[in-house]
Chains A and B, each alone.
Chain A
């Protein structure tokens, strides 16, 4: 591409310790390559991700925040992912309400053996955020 220096988004990927992490490890074992600007943020369970962490990231410099964990029905802790989905729904609704780009937050289930799905999600999210451009919220000093 001949355009000026490409925008490299700052992305945090929230992963549960089981499937989300398992997916990333399978991607590793399979040597699948994905965008290197994505930083893993590990918690025991997607149900342990308080939307406040995501808000923190989006306000303080992240251009996007993805969350992956066990598929519904497959949570290592039985129901954490269902609860996570509720929290994420509230967060995305709030972001939408105030026009703060709810699409900068993704929730997608990735099973522990789904290395490809993990790498795909990382790449797809990266491209998606690139298209969205810089997160205006993260650029403001008055927040």
Chain B
């Protein structure tokens, strides 16, 4: 039986969207099961996490784009009922109910609202039984309030496009799918789970995610943190990281709970320095890039960070919150702070969807109730062909979730049949270059809705008199299949070669408008789309002045179009091979991924062998067998004919650009190798940091965690007492980052030692055990590992004698001075960036190095942390085609490094698959008038996409079209209009301004 090619995505988390995007690009159809009634009803974590207070509209872009192209289908109010068959040939039985209003046909004329006889009060505002939720990620959602709807049917009759169905039936359908992706949204703790913090019960306690949601539309302003009780600005705020204090097993700390708390605190403090901000956490878990710097900034801002073992909330003076806490786990809650408002930073609950999905798909949950994933894979469950991604599989942050969408691609593809999405053939366009400009203005009546608000006939007559208009008429619409055809025919019949469509927003309907113009045989560069609805109809009332404004907009557009030029979409070739620099685990994993997908991969390794740091490690904290994995990896690499390993190499020269690099490297024997990779993956790793503190290097009993682990593995530690000091030389202003792995390594080794009956004391500042790693901290406590906690300003002191190592420490958990007598002292020195290496590649590939010495996120195509917004854009190359993975990017654990490598490889695969690539905005790109260009490079300096460079021979700027997102930065940077946007040439903008002033 041939394999099915469609993929069912259950849920709408960011990872699911990414997979849908990638599969569409690769030519496969996806069907997304949205459990909600509209795009965002069931919310994923996009708004609740860093980087927040950002516009995330692009995150939903795949939906808007690919549904239109037929590559994606969304089923609303849907649920997976049954899954039968096996991988490659699943049959998914699905229940769905179409939304009341089909968003892709709806013209948004609002006639349904006008027709609705029911009006009720909702939140102090009058609202019809059919109403619109404006701007859910660019879309206006029309909904029916079923409670108050009388089912009179007037709305359905009034709907001119047939988009509204008052009683869409609940349907059951069966889908044949090659693979199933489980991508349900995360679950936030609710009232019951947050009982200790009084949310929903005590006034003026709010969740940070509520603030984030409100701030989505407005950015974080002072309005975003008003006291719910009286709307006043609170003068004191408590921020509590709830997973630190909640009962174990209820909620789990994800990527950035601690960081989010500090972020919020900083935002408040920087807006209103006068407000007292108290931040309560147990530990500041700051393992993400830049998180430690946020902490330093919070201290500078005067945020009171209180590390406490337990706390409780109560009501004080009616509307205030009292936080009682104790910094010592054995003491009563004697310390108290009274604040005017409390913000809760919550974690993630185990997914509620798990049980059902477990039953339907046969996939097991792991011990915390999240979906279990096969180790060393991205998203593979125990059932072949069923994948689980994003917040469904563990507490996770946005960056991880987004990238995870790329990780399992290759495995998903292995279960799919032939491609089942073909790119639509664009219509043939007329060559109008020799014709005199003839502009037609087509004014939309929105099926009669606009004509109710203003006199369109009068507007048409007026417009006809304009100097640059040769034709004007009213159209019904330009957004439903039939109205698109009608309008295209009208354009054709009128004989014009420039088109002004006075319609509604291209933000939603751009594709439809472009399509209309193209069906009429014209290049979209010869058209202008005006928002008659948003700019005139909906926001003004005086018909005469509305006409003036519409006329001015039309005048300007027609005048602008007079000098418009039709130009084709530029395509550029994309190579098909990849260069991986660095033969450590991350580099090799990326190489295997792409090699097995059939792409030629070159691995350039500096030393004489591949494998990197992994030689030393045998298991990680979770007990994953690293040695075994590495052996398999090396074997796979060895036998893969697409992968070529070059050892003893030095990269000497890089030229070209994303998709078409040319790289030269030399081997030890002086041999030169030249490759032309489309994508470069940098996996050059990091170094174990060294220290001169605590007698390291002089006293053999003092060693780093990695050295100790080796000794332990060799069986050289057999007895005595082991003391460990965490955060040696890091998380301070000089080295303000957390190396992420040290706490886990300390726990791992401590647990091993305890098994052998060896006493262990861990001196730490913050226990950076994120996600499920916290279990091991609890286990270590139980196993009798002694934990002593010191303050960042009072590190333990060492008194070494020949007999013993005496460590003196002030334990802040009970305030007592303590002394540990030990035989070994293990220092968590963490990771250092490989500065020398990084600088070399920074120069060769024009990548920025961040303040800590790792590769900067913005400058590489792997913006894992704060720049994840960028990768949500619906195009492949939002950057320069160089992916930095593993510890060259930032400190990561072994597992995280190799997963990151797979994810980057998955993304690389999407790029490589295309062979040829068009600009993200088709024919709308920036260009260079070489007769004017003097090669000053100002445009190159300001281009955020590395889409421009100066041709070293001709000394003029060149544009790599598929990297250009047509933002126009180059146009302004260029003083002589040698740089221009095809749809906004230098004279056209002046004409527009003149035109706007003309009426």
Which residues of chain A have a CB within 8 Å of any CB of chain B? 10, 12, 17-19, 21-22, 24-34, 36-37, 39-41, 43-45, 47-50, 53, 56-57, 60-62, 70-71, 73-74, 76-80, 83, 87, 109, 111-115, 117, 119
Contacts of B858 in A (CB 8 A): 78
Query: By the criterion CB–CB under 8 Å, are A28 and B972 in contact?
Result: no
Name the segment of B6-14, B25-33, B540-548, B675-683 touching the other chain: B540-548
A79 to B966, CA, bound (A): 13
B989 at the interface (CB under 8 A from A): yes
Task: Name the one of B53, B132, B541, B993 contacting A12, with C-beta atoms under 8 angstroms.
Answer: B993
Name the segment of B87-95, B215-223, B643-651 touching the other chain: B215-223
Give the top 10 A-B pairs by smallest Cβ distance, nearest first: A113-B217, A48-B968, A29-B134, A28-B534, A77-B967, A28-B538, A36-B540, A61-B997, A39-B996, A36-B545
In the complex with contacts A21-B507, A27-B539, A29-B135, A70-B994 CB distance below 8 A:
no
Query: By the criterion CB–CB under 8 Å, are A34 and B539 in contact?
Result: yes
Query: By the criterion CB–CB under 8 Å, are B539 and A119 in contact?
Result: yes
Query: By the criterion CB–CB under 8 Å, are A47 and B968 in contact?
Result: yes
Query: By the criterion CB–CB under 8 Å, are A60 and B535 in contact?
Result: no
Which residues of chain B have a CB within 8 Å of any CB of chain A? 53-55, 57-58, 132, 134-135, 138, 140, 216-219, 505, 507, 531, 533-542, 545-546, 548-549, 552-553, 556, 858, 867, 870, 942, 944, 965-969, 971-972, 981, 984, 989-990, 992-994, 996-997
Closest residue of chain A to B534, judged by CB? A28
CB-defined A-B contacts under 8 Å, sample of 10? A22-B57, A34-B539, A40-B535, A48-B972, A57-B996, A77-B967, A77-B969, A80-B967, A83-B942, A111-B219
Query: By the criterion CB–CB under 8 Å, are A44 and B966 in contact?
Result: yes
Query: By the criterion CB–CB under 8 Å, are A33 and B540 in contact?
Result: yes
A130 to B640, CA, bound (A): 74
Contacts of A12 in B (CB 8 A): 993, 996-997
A45 to B507, CA, bound (A): 14
Contacts of A30 in B (CB 8 A): 134
Query: By the criterion CB–CB under 8 Å, are B972 and A57 in contact?
Result: no
- Name A's interface SS: loop
Query: By the criterion CB–CB under 8 Å, are A25 and B534 in contact?
Result: yes
Query: By the criterion CB–CB under 8 Å, are B944 and A114 in contact?
Result: no
Task: Name the one of A22, A73, A80 contacting B54, with C-beta atoms under 8 angstroms.
Answer: A73
A119 to B878, CA, bound (A): 33
In the complex with contacts A50-B972, A80-B969, A10-B997 CB distance below 8 A:
yes
**Smallest CB–CB gap between A141 and chain B, Å?**
15
In the complex with contacts A44-B968, A80-B969, A113-B218 CB distance below 8 A:
yes
Given contact pairs A39-B553, A47-B972, A53-B993, enumerate 6 new A-B contacts (beta carbons under 8 Å).
A28-B533, A36-B542, A47-B968, A109-B219, A111-B217, A113-B135
Most buried by A among B218, B507, B536: B218
Contacts of A49 in B (CB 8 A): 972
In the complex with contacts A39-B996, A48-B971, A112-B981 CB distance below 8 A:
no
A36 to B134, CA, bound (A): 22
Closest residue of chain B to A60, judged by CB? B997
Query: By the criterion CB–CB under 8 Å, are A114 and B55 in contact?
Result: no
Closest residue of chain B to A61, judged by CB? B997
Contacts of B972 in A (CB 8 A): 47-50, 83, 87
Query: By the criterion CB–CB under 8 Å, are A41 and B996 in contact?
Result: yes
Task: Name the one of A45, A60, A76 contacting B993, with C-beta atoms under 8 angstroms.
Answer: A60
A12 to B552, CA, bound (A): 11
A62 to B992, CA, bound (A): 13
Contacts of A80 in B (CB 8 A): 944, 967-969
Contacts of B944 in A (CB 8 A): 77-80
A94 to B533, CA, bound (A): 37
A47 to B967, CA, bound (A): 8
Contacts of B966 in A (CB 8 A): 44
Contacts of B967 in A (CB 8 A): 44-45, 47-48, 76-77, 80
A29 to B138, CA, bound (A): 11
**Smallest CB–CB gap between B108 and chain A, Å?**
8
A117 to B552, CA, bound (A): 24
Contacts of B994 in A (CB 8 A): 56, 60
Contacts of A31 in B (CB 8 A): 538-539
**Smallest CB–CB gap between A49 and chain B, Å?**
7
Query: By the criterion CB–CB under 8 Å, are A18 and B55 in contact?
Result: yes
Closest residue of chain B to A32, judged by CB? B539
A41 to B995, CA, bound (A): 10
**Smallest CB–CB gap between B299 and chain A, Å?**
22
Contacts of A28 in B (CB 8 A): 505, 531, 533-535, 537-539
Query: By the criterion CB–CB under 8 Å, are A22 and B533 in contact?
Result: no
